[in-house]
Structure 1
Amino acid sequence: MISAIQWIRKGVAAQNPEKYNLDEAEYERINKLAEQHLEEANQDLSEAKAMDTDAMDAEATEATAGAKSSTNEPDLAEFNLEAYDEEIAADQDKNVNIFSNKQGLTYYASNAEDPYITLKDVADDEDEREELEVLPTDNLIVAAKTEDDLSHLEIYLYEESEDNLYVHHDLLLPAFPLCLDWLDFKLGRRAGQPGTGNYVAVGTFDPDIEIWDLDSLDVMYPDAILGHKDKTKKRLKKVNDKYHVDAVMGLSWNKNHRNIIASASADTTVKLWDLTTCECARSFTHHKDKVQSVQWHPVESTVLLTGSYDKTVCVFDSRSPDSVNTWKVGADVESLRWDPHNPTNFYVATEDGLIRYYDVRSNQGANAPSLFTLHAHDDAVSSFDVNPLVPGCIVTGSIDKSIKIWDTADNKPRMVTSRNLGVGKIFSAQFCTDSPFQLAVAGSKGNLQVLDLSSNAGVRRAFSNRAGIIVPEVAEKQPAELPDDAEPESEEETEAVADDNSNHDNDSDMDDDYI
């Protein structure tokens, strides 16, 4: 399954990503980052051993008694079983390495480093360099994928002109990923270097936040880890103002103050992290349950929007957190978005399938009414996004396996189109930051699809010429016809094809969904 995705805008990625080099400096950096995790693992192991001491002693006593009774038998005495382990250890000491008498068995990472190979693979290196090249016209899409209990980041390269999408490289993760956010602040190996970087922050079921460099290939370890650092002290299990103690559920990088990133956690706190020191700068405890989402205001660089499982949404200035504006929404918050085209307003997607739209300037208390409430899905709205380039265009995705495009002009939302893309339950849907009608969608089946919304007649009618965006007139894509002897592989695929065909040309208004 793919639990989160993140578009990377054109031109920010290095044209020729570097291959990871584990030199002495990098080894020292990894060693320092890994020390805290090793110390915590040792502490956990010591506790586990202490708790099981009695049981282990009892088992050892029984085993010893059994061994003695066995060795007392005349038929087994000749095997000297009491000294069996000591004999094995002595034999291992004599043969530490089967290649101990060989000289010059040195491992080289590549043929280019091996002095005994004089014919270098120049042609192969050039071909590989060309294959890995990222052009300024290419987008990257980062997908947090879990398959067979193994989690990793898949970095896709998307060529819009060719409608080509493929995995460029991937990175291994230590735990199930829950959220992603992109940032360009250089840290870790590139800290202090001029220019901007290309990084992704990852929140997982672990309480730490990992930040990975997307311009490096085959990276073994993240460039920074935000979390518990003092290896001399055991990680606390209770809420504190230094680090998270539960899963990280939401991330938001501050584009105005580039060294700051905010995190929302299941430990009920929201924390601000200083990327120059990788330390927690502030911690907020205004929610009473898991905090699912956090978003920086697009204009006011110190204002935060947060949503929680305590069924509330809060807006506050991080410089004066005691003054918090709160709205009650009636269900667990799934996601939040400021409206980039009207920065005084924000959207809230909730578990009961509703989208609410609020004006932050309303001072009517927690029960302040929304500007509109949209019944988007019968099931939870598991994914939500606002088009950054087209005013009034939003997308909702649900565990009912459908995505819907909505026009919210004049605060009177109507559905433009609905699709079942065959990706399973929708866990993430996000508009491209460079192209107004490119939409990436992923879900429970572990597939990522990029959808061109401009090919839909309803989208063209609804958003034509809005805010200077001219939707091109393109021919409607007709569904492919199956041969007479071909059948869909499963009932789910049959339903997906049927939904696709019925929804593609029959766009409808859903006035009944507008409350």
Structure 2
Amino acid sequence: MDPINVSCIRWIPKNFCKSSMFYSYYDRIDDNNSLDQSSMVENGVNSDKYMYMPLDNEITNGKLLENNLAKEKGINEEWNYLNDGDLSDSCPSIEESDRVLVVGSNYEDYSSLEIVLYNVDSCGLETHHEIPLNGYPLAMELLPRQNLGVLACIGTYTPDITIWDIYDVDLLEPLAVLSTYNGKHKERKDRNCGIISLDYERNYLCAGSEDHNVYMWDLQKQEIFNTIRHHNDKVQIVKWHNNDPNILISAAFDNKLVVNDIRNNVKVGEMTLSSDVECAIWYNSTDSLLVGFENGSIKCYDLRVMGNENVWSVDNNKKACTSLALKSNVLVSSSLSGTVNIYSLDPNSNTCPEPKKIYKKKLGAGPIFASSASIDDEYIFAFGCEVIVIADLLSFDKFRQMIQ
């Protein structure tokens, strides 16, 4: 059965994909005590950059055991390789040419987290296994674990954030649940409180909510350590700053982008946006933030200069720009019109250069809700539409000619 739509999609780096990466319930029983938690901090690895979680059920009251997260920035350098032999080979193995996707899929009567294999040689696409979810996945973030792979962090229309072990093919329950509802404020059950945006920085996870707040979790303590209340509408975007872990960017449907200093829980900057924000990404390791809007435009903001003026603006599409993906000097935008626009960026510029459109493609799979650039391949992108669409931009003759 085909899904109604794919709302979230992310590639798992090959660093975390080996031939025997998946395991079943029976493997877990056989190897229940085979994973020594102390071994995770050996071999000279800086434990401050990684998150550790057991593969068995030794989680009490939804608490994680030791949690430290690696930054996604510089992912190929900071994410550690899986060690061969620490998971069972009884599940179907993956090939060297396989890539792994984590996909939030939605059907008529249920939603699920699908683990999908894409073969770069044959262009084959198949679902390896799926995990049932308790609601429509609105936001997804991947949390790396040294030697053990990644976890998927999911936000839905409920106030709960669920954390899943995507390597377990028999998983029915999340490893942990982070709830923004603590029972003290009963009115939260009667109003919108879904989690619609997620981002992490080392062992901190932030969540943008429909209740207009931004919640920041200390994953080591499994508790909210800060709540930002600077918005008057749903918080669509949360992004930790590229270069300063004390700065958090948030943007909401109140047409405001706010720069927050989490040390003092103060607003250090604010700008008014021209339309409802839909998506945002950092331009490499700079202070430039690329923002996609509901009116279809893309704008670049230099956060060193707080004001309402953007560095540049592109009329990208007539419908909402739902996602942006960046690979090398190529920017790919997606829209509810079902069209992707491909832009080139000057690689010699010290700041974020104005993009030049080089190609436009109608995918023919309905509206596009999400996209992701493969970390391990030059120009392979995944798109979440009514189905999953994988596009190798080098297969487009016009694109290939323009970048040569």
TM-score grouping bracket, smaller chain normalisation? 0.7 to 0.9
Q: Is the 8 A contact 2:140 2:152 kept in 1?
A: yes
Query: In 2, Cα distance between the equivalents of 1:423 and 1:305?
Result: 32
**Residue 406 of structure 1 pairs with residue 353 of structure 2:** no
Say which of 380, 393, 404 aligns to 1:438: 380
Identity %: 26
**Residue 132 of structure 1 pairs with residue 88 of structure 2:** no
Say which of 359, 362, 365 aligns to 2:305: 362
Q: Is the 8 A contact 1:203 1:249 kept in 2?
A: yes
Measured against aligned partners, the alpha-carbon deviations of 1:484-506 in whole angstroms (never above 9, x if no partner) come to xxxxxxxxxxxxxxxxxxxxxxx
Query: In 1, Cα distance between the equivalents of 2:389 and 2:321?
Result: 19
Query: In 2, Cα distance between the equivalents of 1:317 and 1:8?
Result: 31
Aligned Cα RMSD in Å? 2.8
2:43 matched residue in structure 1: none
Structure 2 letter corresponding to 1:405 = I
Query: In 1, Cα distance between the equivalents of 2:96 and 2:199?
Result: 25
Q: Is the 8 A contact 1:297 1:343 kept in 2?
A: no
Secondary structure in structure 1 of the residue aligned to 2:394: helix
**Residue 198 of structure 1 pairs with residue 137 of structure 2:** no
Query: In 2, Cα distance between the equivalents of 1:354 and 1:196?
Result: 40
Measured against aligned partners, the alpha-carbon deviations of 1:376-399 in whole angstroms (never above 9, x if no partner) come to 001111222222xx12x2111111
TM-score by structure 1 length?
0.62
**Shift of residue 458 of structure 1?**
3.3
Secondary structure in structure 1 of the residue aligned to 2:138: strand
Secondary structure in structure 2 of the residue aligned to 1:459: helix
Measured against aligned partners, the alpha-carbon deviations of 1:80-101 in whole angstroms (never above 9, x if no partner) come to xxxxxxxxxxxxxxxxxxxxxx
Count of equivalent residues: 345
**Residue 350 of structure 1 pairs with residue 293 of structure 2:** yes
Query: In 1, Cα distance between the equivalents of 2:143 and 2:197?
Result: 14
Higher fraction of helix: 1
For 1:269-284, what aligned pairs fall within 5 Å after superposition? Answer: 269-284=213-228
Measured against aligned partners, the alpha-carbon deviations of 1:295-353 in whole angstroms (never above 9, x if no partner) come to 1223322322221101111223322331421121111110111111x511111111111
2:311 matched residue in structure 1: 371
2:392 matched residue in structure 1: 452
**Shift of residue 281 of structure 1?**
1.6
TM-score by structure 2 length?
0.78
- Change in Cα spacing, 1:238 to 1:222, as seen in structure 2 (3 Å) is closer
Secondary structure in structure 1 of the residue aligned to 2:94: coil
Q: Relative contact order, CA 8 A, sep 6+: which one is greater?
A: 2
Q: Which runs of 5+ in 1 are unaligned?
A: 35-127, 186-193, 465-515
**Shift of residue 288 of structure 1?**
1.5
Query: In 2, Cα distance between the equivalents of 1:138 and 1:148?
Result: 29
Q: Is the 8 A contact 1:428 1:441 kept in 2?
A: yes
- Change in Cα spacing, 1:228 to 1:29, as seen in structure 2 (3 Å) is farther
For 1:114-513, what aligned pairs fall within 5 Å after superposition? Answer: 129=89, 132-135=92-95, 138-185=98-145, 195-227=147-179, 233=183, 236-238=186-188, 246-254=193-201, 257=202, 259-340=203-284, 342-363=285-306, 365=307, 367=308, 369-387=309-327, 390-391=328-329, 393-409=330-346, 411-443=353-385, 445=386, 447-464=387-404
- Change in Cα spacing, 1:138 to 1:297, as seen in structure 2 (3 Å) is farther
- Change in Cα spacing, 1:413 to 1:220, as seen in structure 2 (3 Å) is same
**Rg comparison, structure with higher value:** 1
4+ residue runs of structure 1 moved beyond 4 angstroms? 21-34, 128-131
Query: In 1, Cα distance between the equivalents of 2:335 and 2:181?
Result: 38
Structure 1 letter corresponding to 2:121 = S
Query: In 2, Cα distance between the equivalents of 1:317 and 1:433?
Result: 30
Q: Is the 8 A contact 2:290 2:301 kept in 1?
A: yes
**Shift of residue 456 of structure 1?**
2.1
Structure 2 letter corresponding to 1:430 = S
Query: In 1, Cα distance between the equivalents of 2:250 and 2:359?
Result: 29
Query: In 1, Cα distance between the equivalents of 2:224 and 2:403?
Result: 43
Q: Is the 8 A contact 2:23 2:89 kept in 1?
A: no
Higher fraction of strand: 2
Structure 2 letter corresponding to 1:7 = W
Query: In 2, Cα distance between the equivalents of 1:164 and 1:9?
Result: 18
